[in-house]
C-alpha cells in the first residue's frame, strides 16, 4: 500500500541524493540467518570463520543483548563489519525496537559507518505501516548523507497481534521491504498464548482420534486413542507467506529455542519450507546445517521437477508421468523448485554438484 502517496512517487528516494529504491527484491539465498552477539568477544571472533558457511550473518542488537551491553554490541558490529570481508555471505543486523531509547543511535551509527556493507536491517516488533515509514525516511536521509549507492533493505519481525492484523500493509509499506520473520516468543506473549516455548509445537495443542464404539454403539471415550500434535504457528506462517508473495518479498520462520532438539527443529523448519518460507533463523551453529538442508530442495524433488519441465514442452496442455497428471499449473509448481535449485547452486558448490549429478529422474 502506498498510503496517500501517488503510485508514481513510490519508487522515488525519500531524501535528496538517496539511492533509487529497487522495483524488485533480488532472490538472494538466505536459508539460515545466523544470529551473533557483537558484544561477545568469543562470538565475534568466530564470525570470520562462519563467512561462506552460512547465507546470512546477523549482528543482533535487540533482545538477548543486555541493556548494559547495547552500546558495546553496536560498536562491536561496526568493528566486525569493518574488519571482515563477507564475500558471498550477506550481513544483516537486528536493530532495537522503535519504542526503545537505543534505536536512533543504532541507525545513525551503523549507516554511516558500515551502511555500504549492510544488506538488510531487521526491525523488531513492527506494528503497522507507520513503523516502516519511520525507518524508511530515516534510512533515506542517512544513506544520502553517507553517499550510499544502493538502498539498505528492511525486514520486519512479525511478533505482535497488531502486526499480524496489519501484515499486508507492512509488506507493502516501502519498496525497501525485503521480507518478514515470525517472532514466536514475542508473538505468544503479546497474544497471551499459553506456551512458554520459543517456537516449536506444544504437546497440549493436538487433535484426537474419534473414540471406538462398543457393541451397542456407545462411544468408549476412555479407550486408548491416537493423538496428533498440531502446529501452533501454521496460521501465522500461512498469513505471512500470502502477504509476502503478494508483495514480491520473502517469508522466513524465526527462532527455534530448543537447541538440543534438532529433530523437532528440523520438522518446524520443514513445515515452514513446505508452506513457502525461504529460510529461518539459526541461534546455534548446529542449526545452520539443519536450515541449509531443509531450505534446499531435495535432489529427488529437483529431478522430478526437471522431468516435468522437460515433458511439458511449451508449457501448455497435460501429460501423464508415472500415472500422475501434470499440466500448466503443476509445471509452475515445478518451476518454483527448479528456479530455487538454480539460485542455490549458484552460491553452493556442493549442492550444485548434487543437482548436476542427478539430472532428471527419467
Ligand atoms: C523473536 O524475536 C521472537 O520474539 O520470537
Ligand atoms: Mg522478539
Per-residue pLDDT of the chain (362 residues; tens, 9 = 90+): 445 788 899 999 999 999 999 999 999 999 999 999 999 999 999 999 999 999 999 999 999 999 999 999 999 999 999 999 999 999 999 999 999 999 999 999 999 999 999 999 999 999 999 999 999 999 999 999 999 999 999 999 999 999 999 999 999 999 999 999 999 999 999 999 999 999 999 999 999 999 999 999 999 999 999 999 999 999 999 999 999 999 999 999 999 999 999 999 999 999 999 999 999 999 999 999 999 999 999 999 999 999 999 999 899 999 999 999 999 999 999 999 999 999 999 999 999 999 999 866 55
Show the cell assigned to 254. 524465526
User: In the 8-state DSSP scheme, what is residue 67?
Assistant: G
Q: Is residue 221 part of a domain?
A: no
User: In the 8-state DSSP scheme, what is residue 205?
Assistant: S
* Dihedral sign from CA coordinates of 272, 342, 36, 19: negative
Question: Are 183 and 304 in a shared domain?
Answer: no
Helices (H), the chain: 41-50, 70-83, 103-114, 129-146, 161-165, 167-171, 184-191, 234-247, 262-275, 285-294, 299-311, 328-347, 349-358
Q: Is residue 110 part of a domain?
A: yes
Structural domain ending residue among the three candidates 257, 276, 295: 295
Ligand 1 pocket test, pick from 93, 97, 157 with the greatest ligand atom count within 8 Å of Cβ, gives 157
Q: Which ligand is nearest to the CA of 199?
A: 1
Ligand 1 atom closest to residue 159's alpha carbon, by position in its atom list? 4
Residue 152, pLDDT score: 98
Contact (CB, 8 A) for 111 and 146: yes
Question: Are 341 and 326 in a shared domain?
Answer: yes
Question: Are 153 and 282 in a shared domain?
Answer: yes
Distance of CA 298 to the CA centre of its chain: 19
Is residue 3 packed enough to be buried (19+ CB in 10 Å), middle (13-18) or exposed (0-12)?
Answer: exposed
Q: Which ligand is nearest to the CA of 188?
A: 1
Show the cell assigned to 286. 548446529
Q: How many residues does the chain have?
A: 362
Which chain residues have CB less than 5 Å from ligand 2, an ion?
A: 159, 183, 186
Question: Are 34 and 83 in a shared domain?
Answer: yes
Question: Are 258 and 336 in a shared domain?
Answer: no
Question: Are 101 and 148 in a shared domain?
Answer: yes
Distance of CA 35 to the CA centre of its chain: 13
Question: Are 131 and 278 in a shared domain?
Answer: yes
Q: What is the span of the domain harbouring residue 104?
A: 7-201+232-295
What is residue 11's three-state secondary structure?
coil
Question: Are 311 and 288 in a shared domain?
Answer: no
Residue 1, pLDDT score: 47
Q: Is residue 238 part of a domain?
A: yes
Structural domain ending residue among the three candidates 295, 321, 338: 295
Question: Atom 3 in ligand 1: which residue has the minimum CA distance?
Answer: 183
Ligand 1 pocket test, pick from 186, 195, 199 with the greatest ligand atom count within 8 Å of Cβ, gives 186
d(CA 208, CA 226): 6
Count structural domains, the chain. Answer: 2
Q: Is residue 216 part of a domain?
A: no
Question: Are 97 and 182 in a shared domain?
Answer: yes
Question: Are 244 and 350 in a shared domain?
Answer: no
Calculate how far, in angstroms, residue 255's C-alpha sits from the geometric centre of ligand 1: 7
Question: Are 242 and 350 in a shared domain?
Answer: no
Residue 110 backbone dihedrals phi, psi, to 5 degrees: -70, -45
Residues enclosing ligand 1, CB less than 6 A?
63, 157, 159, 183-186, 198, 254-255
Q: Is residue 212 part of a domain?
A: no
Ligand 1 atom closest to residue 189's alpha carbon, by position in its atom list? 4
Contact (CB, 8 A) for 180 and 146: no
Q: Is residue 213 part of a domain?
A: no
Question: Are 137 and 250 in a shared domain?
Answer: yes
CA distances from 237 to 174, 183, 333 (A): 21, 10, 19
Structural domain ending residue among the three candidates 278, 295, 312: 295
CATH number at residue 101: 3.20.20.60
What is residue 259's three-state secondary structure?
coil
Q: Is residue 214 part of a domain?
A: no
Amino acid at each position: 500500500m502506498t498510503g496517500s502517496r501517488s503510485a508514481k512517487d513510490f519508487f522515488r528516494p525519500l531524501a535528496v541524493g538517496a539511492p533509487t529504491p529497487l522495483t524488485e527484491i533480488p532472490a538472494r539465498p538466505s536459508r539460515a540467518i545466523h544470529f551473533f552477539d557483537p558484544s561477545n568477544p568469543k562470538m565475534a571472533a568466530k564470525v570470520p570463520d562462519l563467512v561462506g558457511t552460512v547465507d546470512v550473518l546477523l549482528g543482533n542488537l535487540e533482545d538477548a543483548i543486555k541493556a548494559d551491553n547495547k552500546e558495546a554490541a553496536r560498536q562491536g558490529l561496526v568493528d566486525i563489519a569493518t574488519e571482515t570481508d563477507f564475500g558471498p555471505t550477506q550481513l544483516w543486523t537486528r536493530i532495537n525496537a522503535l519504542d526503545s531509547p537505543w534505536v536512533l543511535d543504532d541507525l545513525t551509527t551503523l549507516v554511516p559507518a558500515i551502511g555500504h556493507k549492510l544488506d538488510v536491517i531487521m526491525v523488531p516488533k513492527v506494528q503497522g505501516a507507520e513503523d516502516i515509514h519511520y525507518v524508511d525516511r530515516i534510512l533515506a536521509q542517512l544513506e544520502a548523507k553517507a553517499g550510499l549507492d544502493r538502498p539498505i533493505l528492511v525486514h520486519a519481525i512479525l511478533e505482535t497481534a497488531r502486526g499480524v492484523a496489519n501484515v499486508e500493509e507492512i509488506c507493502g509499506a516501502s519498496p525497501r521491504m525485503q521480507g518478514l520473520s515470525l517472532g514466536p516468543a514475542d508473538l505468544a506473549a503479546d497474544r497471551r498464548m499459553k506456551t512458554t516455548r520459543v517456537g516449536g509445537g506444544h504437546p497440549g495443542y493436538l487433535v484426537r482420534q474419534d473414540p471406538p464404539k462398543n457393541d451397542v454403539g456407545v462411544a468408549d471415550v476412555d479407550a486408548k486413542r491416537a493423538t496428533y500434535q498440531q502446529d501452533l504457528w501454521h496460521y501465522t506462517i500461512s498469513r505471512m507467506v500470502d502477504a509476502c508473495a503478494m508483495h514480491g518479498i520473502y517469508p522466513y520462520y524465526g527462532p527455534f529455542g530448543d537447541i538440543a532438539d534438532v529433530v523437532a527443529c528440523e520438522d518446524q523448519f520443514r513445515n515452514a519450507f513446505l508452506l513457502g518460507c525461504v529460510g529461518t533463523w539459526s541461534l546455534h551453529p548446529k542449526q545452520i546445517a539443519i536450515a541449509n538442508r531443509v531450505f534446499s530442495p531435495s535432489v529427488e524433488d529437483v529431478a522430478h521437477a526437471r522431468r516435468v519441465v522437460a515433458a511439458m514442452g511449451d508449457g501448455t496442455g497435460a501429460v501423464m508421468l508415472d500415472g500422475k497428471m501434470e499440466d500448466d499449473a503443476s509445471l509452475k509448481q515445478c518451476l518454483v523448485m527448479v528456479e530455487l535449485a538454480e539460485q542455490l547452486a549458484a552460491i553452493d558448490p556442493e549442492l550444485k554438484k548434487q543437482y548436476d549429478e542427478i539430472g532428471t529422474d527419467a
